[in-house]
Amino acid sequence: MHALGRIGKPEDIARAVLFLLNPQSWITGQVIAVDGGLSRVRPKIKI
């Protein structure tokens, strides 16, 4: 199960895109994970 209790929806991606299109959301060099919180709770795998 995902951390938010549901799988991602297209609207989740759309919200991230709208955030990035806003001139007030100035950020650089970031990776934005839109994964329902899964990356915060799953164990890290060393490669």
Token pair recorded at residue 25: 């959301």
**Which residues constitute the domain of residue 34?**
1-47
**Structural domain count of the chain:** 1
List phi, psi (to 5°) of 26. Answer: -65, 115
List phi, psi (to 5°) of 10. Answer: -55, -30
The pLDDT score that the predictor gives to residue 40 is: 75
pLDDT single digits (tens) 10-35 = 998 899 899 889 988 888 888 888 77
47 confidence band (pLDDT: 50, 70, 90): confident
pLDDT exceeds 70 at position 3? no
